[in-house]
Amino acid sequence: MSERLTRPTSLWEYANPRRFMALSGFLLPWVAIGTAATLLIGLVWGFFFTPDDYRQGSTVKIIYVHVPSAMIAINCWLMMLITSLVWLIRRHHVSALAAKAAAPIGATMTVIALLTGAIWGQPMWGTWWAWDPRLTSFLILFLFYLGYMALWAAVENPDTAAELTSVLCIVGSVFAVLSRYALVFWNQGLHQGASLSLDKEENVSDVFYWPLLLCIAGFVGFFILLILIRTRTEVRARRLQALIARERMA
């Protein structure tokens, strides 16, 4: 790190691992503070200073965890798709490592969304689980995450693993979208879907709106924080491997 870094002229220069480490190291504490503040305010406001819904009672408050985690779960896959494309097109290692780092976070968020949904659904719908298109597509999204992570874990050569998982991510994205619409079609024939998949955000009242927005911002910050930490770990692990390989050669 003795060499001085010149001022970057393009966004792509952050693809240089050393530059990425410098920038992410600088950003990390600020993102952490921002995330902690937004999450704390949003959750405390949401849990303790908003009224109970007149029909749902206090269970409505699970929305502050459920909606943000579900949003992250979907957008995490989108981020993996973009970083996979960047890796395939421009060959930036940091990009591939970011995709690898993101997958477990996305899978965890999917589980959180499913669990909080089940906890809410039990008193409200009278069931932990229904084969509603929205629920089912999240379950399938979780399976996609599992397959993606398993492929990363199974391939030994890191570059081969990065390429194979990128191809899987791109093909998987197409099939994930296809499955989403297939499920909407599939459930129409069985039983009513609309009453279950109530679009919560459209009819949420102003009292819930602002704390929800804060919670979403907090979750996005949390996601970025985790991505930065995990990608930094991956970069360091890769450096360590290179050092070990060099030791062995010498």
Partner 1 sequence: MIALLKRDLALAVRAGGGFGLALAFFLIVVTLTPFAVGPNSATLSVIAAGILWLGALLSCLLSLDRILALDFEDGSLELLATAPIPLEGVAATKAVAHWLTTGLPLTLVAPALGVLLNLPEGGYLWLTLSLAIGTPALSVIGTFGAALTVGLKRGGLLLSLIVLPLYVPTLIFGAEVARRGAEGMSLDTPLAILAGITLATIALLPFASAAAIRINLR
- Give the residues lining the site for partner 1 (CB under 8 A): 140, 143-144, 146-147, 150-151, 154-155, 160, 163-164, 167-168, 170-172, 175-176, 178-179, 182-183, 185-186, 189
Q: How far is CA 249 from CA 200, 243, 244, 246, in A?
A: 59, 10, 9, 5
Residue 85: which of 176, 178, 163 has the closest Cα? Answer: 163
Shortest distance in whole angstroms from residue 155 CB to partner 1: 7
Amino acid letter, 72: I
Nearer to partner 1, 68 or 106 (CB): 106
Least spacing, CB of residue 156 vs partner 1, in Å = 9
Distances (CA, A) of 109 to 21, 58, 101, 176, 211: 26, 23, 14, 17, 20
Q: Is the dihedral of CA 150, 151, 154, 156 positive or negative?
A: negative
Provide, rounded to whole angstroms, the least separation between the CB of residue 136 and partner 1: 9
In the complex with partner 1, which residue's Cβ is closer, 33 or 154? 154
Sign of the four-CA dihedral 155, 159, 164, 166: positive
Least Å distance, CB 172 to partner 1, is 7
Report in angstroms how near the CB of residue 160 gets to partner 1 at its nearest.
6
Q: Minimum distance from CB of 168 to partner 1 (Å)?
A: 6
Looking at the Cβ atoms of 178 and 245, the one nearer to partner 1 is 178
Measured from the CB atom, is 141 or 235 closer to partner 1? 141
User: 175 vs 209, which CB is nearer to partner 1?
Assistant: 175
Angle (nearest 5°) at CA 203 between 224 and 180: 60
Nearer to partner 1, 119 or 155 (CB): 155
Q: Which of 140, 45, 143, 158 is nearest to 96 (CA)?
A: 158
76/22 Cα distance (integer angstroms): 24
